[in-house]
Structure 1
Amino acid sequence: MRQVAALPYKTDDSGAVSVLLITSRDTRRWVLPKGNPIRGLASHEAAAHEAFEEAGVSGIACPTPLGQYAYWKRRRNGQIKRATVALFPLAVTEQAEEWPEQDERDTQWFDLAGAAAAVDEPDLSRLIGGFRAPRRPTGRRERLLSWARRQGENLPMLRWFQALMPKQGRFFDQFEDHAATLVAGADALARLLQGGPDIALHVKEIYDREHQADDITRDVLQDVRRILITPFDRTAITGLIAAMDDAIDQMNGTAKAITLFELSDFEPQMRDMSGIIVEAARVTSEVMPLLRSIGDNATRILELTARLVQLEGHADEIHDAGLKALYKAAEGDARPMAFIVGREIYSHLERVVDRFEDVANEVQGLVLDHA
C-alpha cells in the first residue's frame, strides 16, 4: 500500500524551522497530513492537497520526496496492512481559517526535535529530525576568542590581545548571510510563478535580494585579497561564493524575463521547478553553518550535497517534460512565440538549479580537502 504525505514547515527570522503535525482521527496520535495517491495529480500535488484538507495549510511543494517511511495501517474491515509513505516538503505560505477536516483533528506547530519525538514511526522521526540539523555549539576556545574580540572593541587594555589573534575574516558569517538571500529569493520566485496580482512585488523582492547578495559577494572577494589567514584555500572560497551568487543572479534573470514578456500565467512544470529551487535553497542554508567544523560534520554535509544533486536531476526531468508539453501545445495552436517565451523561462529555471549543483560540487571539494 503506497501513500503520500506532506511535511508542512515554516522558517522564522532566526532561521529556526517549525513543523506542523495533526492528530489522527481514530487514535489521536500525532501524524503528518497524508493520504492515498489521487488520480490526475502528481504525488507532491496529492500531498499538498492532503495538507489543505487535513491541516488547512497551502504552500510550495517540492516534487522530489525527502524520503519515505512505513507504518501499519488498520483498515475499516479490521485488516492491518503495511503502508509505505513518500514524504514531500511543503513550504507553508498560507494557513486557512477554515478547512474540510478542521473539526476532526487538532493541529500544532512543533520545533524539529519536538516533532521528531511526537511521531511514532522511527523512520518518520529520523526524517523530521534530520530535516535541518541544528548548528553545532561553538567550543570553549571559540567562545573565548569571540568574547575577547567583543571586549577588545570596548576596553583599550585588551586591544593588544585582539591584535595578536589570527585574522580569518568573516567568511562563515558571509556564507550564511548569502544563503539567507537565496532562501528569500527562492521563496519570492516560487510565489511569483504562482501568478496573481502581486507579481511586481515578488519581482522587486528578488531584485533586492540579488543586490544584497552582490554586496556580500563583494565583501568576500575583498576579504580574500586582504586577509592573511583564511579558513580554506582562497580559490575554494571564491568558487563557493561565486556559485551561490550565480544562483541568485539566475533567479533575478528569471524575474527579468517574466517582466519583459509580461507573463502572468505559468505552466505547472515551471511551478514544480520553483518548488525544487525552494528546497535547494533550504538545503544550502543548512549546509553553510556546518562548514565551520567540516571534520565533525562531514557525513551530514555529504548527505545534504547529495540531496542537491538529486534535486538537480529531478529538475532536469521536469524541465524536459515541460518543454515537450509546451512544444506540443504551441504546435497545435500555431503559436510559435508561446514556445519561444516559455523555453526562455524554462532555461532560466534550469540554470538556477544547475547553480545549486555547482554549490554542491564546491562544498564536496571542501570536504575532500579538509575533512
Structure 2
Amino acid sequence: MGLKSLIVPQDKIFFELFEEQAATVCTAAELLIDIFSDYTNIEEKYRKMKEIEHQGDAIAHKAYDELNRTFITPFEPEEISRLVTALDDVIDYIDDGARMLLIYEVKKTDQFMIEFAKCLRQAADEIKTGISGLRTLKDMETIKGCCIEINRLENVADEILSNAIRNLFKSNDPVEIIKLKDIYEHLEIATDKCEDVSDVFSAILIRHT
C-alpha cells in the first residue's frame, strides 16, 4: 500500500478518481471543439486526444482496482462501477468521433459537428459539477439540476442529429452520406453516455435520500 493510501481514507480515493475522470471528460470535449472548429494539424490533435483517452482508461483501471480491494466504499460497489464505466464511455465515444475523421479521410468538418462538440462540452461541465457534489451529498438540488440539464442536452443532441441527417440526404454522394452519418451518430451516442452518468447520479440520490 502506497503512502497516499495510508494518508487518504480509502473511501475518499474514489471521489478523487471520479473528479479526475470528470476533468478528463472536460478536456476531451474541449479538444473536440478545437478539432471541429479549426480543422488543421488533425493528426497531431488526434494524438493529443488519444493521450487523453489513455489517461481516462488509466483512471478507470485504478478505480476498478480500488473497488476490488477496498471494503469501505462511499456508495454501493455497483454504483461506483457504473459511474466509472459511464464516464469512461463518454471519453471513448468522444475519442471515436475524432478518430473517424482520420479513418474516413474527412476533408472538412461542418457546423453540426461543432454543435455536437459544444453540446458535449456543456454536458461535461454538468458532469464535473455533479461529481463534485457527490463528496458530501449536502447540495442534492444542484446534483438534480445537473441531471436535468444533461438530459436536456441529450435531447438537444437528438435534434442536432435529426437536422444533420436531414441536411445530409440533400447530398448526391452516397459514400459521403455513409461517412458523415456514422460520425454524427457516434457523437450523438456520446451524449447518450453523458445521460448514463446522470442516471447513476439519480440512482445515488434516490438511495441516499
**TM-score bin, normalised by smaller chain:** over 0.9
Pairwise CA distance, 1:167: 3.6
Aligned residues: 205
User: Corresponding residue for 1:210?
Assistant: 53
**SS of equivalent to 2:39:** coil
Matched, 1:359 2:204: no
CA contact (8 A) 1:239 1:362 kept: yes
| Structure with greater helix share of residues | 2
Match of 1:226 among 69, 72, 78: 69
Letter matched to residue 167 of structure 2? A
**C-alpha contact 1:169 1:227 (8 A) present in aligned 2:** no
TM-score normalised to structure 2 length: 0.93
| 1:265 CA displacement | 1.1
Structure showing greater Rg: 1
For 1:82, the equivalent position in structure 2 comes to: none
| Cα shift at 1:169 | 5.2
Matched-pair contact (CA < 8 Å) for 2:39–2:109:
no
The equivalent of 1:238 in structure 2 is 81
The question of 1:248 aligning with 2:91 is answered yes
Once residues 349 and 168 of structure 1 are traced to their aligned partners in structure 2, the CA distance between those partners, rounded to angstroms, is 34
Q: Distance in 2 between matches of 1:167 and 1:310?
A: 35
1:126-141 matches, cutoff 5 A:
none
Once residues 198 and 363 of structure 1 are traced to their aligned partners in structure 2, the CA distance between those partners, rounded to angstroms, is: 37
Structure 1 match to 2:33 = 190
Q: Percent identity?
A: 27
Work out whether 1:314 is the aligned partner of 2:152: no
2:147 aligned to 305, 326, 338, which one? 305
Identify the structure with bigger relative contact order (alpha carbons < 8 Å, sequence gap 6+). 2
Which of 278, 283, 288 is the matching residue for 2:126?
A: 283
Deviation at 1:283, TM superposition (A): 1.2
Amino acid at match of 2:121: V
Ranges in structure 1 where 5+ consecutive residues have no aligned partner:
1-152, 154-161
For residue 139 of structure 2, give the secondary structure of its aligned residue in structure 1.
helix
Higher strand fraction: Structure 1 or Structure 2? Answer: 1
Contact 1:273 1:349 in 2 (8 A): yes
Q: Deviations over 1:85-138 (max 9, x none)?
A: xxxxxxxxxxxxxxxxxxxxxxxxxxxxxxxxxxxxxxxxxxxxxxxxxxxxxx
Query: Displacement, 1:166?
Result: 6.1
CA distance in 2 between counterparts of 1:236 and 1:318 reads: 31
Q: Tell me the alpha carbon deviations over residues 262-308 of structure 1, each in whole angstroms, 9 at most, x when there is no partner.
A: 213122112111110111111111111110011x1111100111000
1:80-99 to structure 2, matched below 5 A, reads none
Aligned positions of 1:321-340 closer than 5 A = 321-328=163-170, 330=171, 334-340=172-178
Aligned-partner Cα distance in 2 for 1:201–1:369: 44
User: For residues 298 and 258 of structure 1, do their structure 2 counterparts lie closer, same or farther at Cα, with a shift above 3 Å needed?
Assistant: same
TM-score, structure 1 normalization: 0.53
Contact kept, 8 Å, 1:243 with 1:356, in 2: the verdict is: yes
What does the per-residue CA deviation read over 1:21-65, in whole Å, with 9 as the maximum and x for residues that have no partner?
xxxxxxxxxxxxxxxxxxxxxxxxxxxxxxxxxxxxxxxxxxxxx
| 8 A contact 2:82–2:200 mirrored in 1 | yes
Question: Partner amino acid for 1:183?
Answer: C
What RMSD, in angstroms, separates the aligned Cα atoms of the two structures?
1.6
Whether the 8 Å contact between 1:276 and 1:311 is mirrored in structure 2 is yes
Task: Point out 4+ residue stretches in structure 1 off by more than 3 angstroms.
Answer: none
What residue number does 1:13 align with? Answer: none
Moved more, 267-276 or 351-360: 267-276
Runs of 5+ in structure 2 lacking a partner? none
Cα displacement (A) at 1:202? 2.2
